[in-house]
Amino acid sequence: MKPIPTGARGSYSLRVESRHLANTFKDSILPPVFSTPYLILIMENAALNAVRDYLEEGESAVGTRVDVRHLVATPVGREVVGRAEVTGTDGRRIFFRVWATDGAEEIGVGTHERTVVNVARLIERMTQKYGPEPSA
């Protein structure tokens, strides 16, 4: 891993479709609004995009902590943009400020943490622990 500067930023956008709604994704009794798990997904992807250029070949950064407040309901058709800014690092751990907007207002805010991993080593450890991946 190359040094990751404080202030590095990334973004990720998603147009809200019916499959992203709380009443489709989680429980039909919920209102037809953008679900919190998808809000977190765009924030996590924004964070990964913020550090992608600093990762070495064979490395990735996996999410290890999320603390997010979902502030505003968002309907189908809106473009949601998640953004992330590196606030610090500690060894392989990377800390972010994350937020999202829907074109009109801020819909979510929080913090996020990712850890840099060697992908091959992670897969090897999982295989040792759980055995080979079953065939489809």
- Pairwise CA distance, residues 117 & 45, whole Å: 16
Give catalytic status of residue 36 as yes or no: yes
- Pairwise CA distance, residues 46 & 85, whole Å: 9
Q: Which of 20, 59, 70, 89 is catalytic?
A: 70
Q: Which of 17, 20, 24, 44 is catalytic?
A: 44
Give catalytic status of residue 70 as yes or no: yes
CA distances from 107 to 33, 98, 125 (A): 12, 11, 38
Q: Which residue has the tokens 């202030």?
A: 7
Closest CA to 64 of 44, 49, 81: 44
Q: Which of 24, 36, 111, 115 is catalytic?
A: 36
Residues annotated as catalytic are: 36, 44, 70
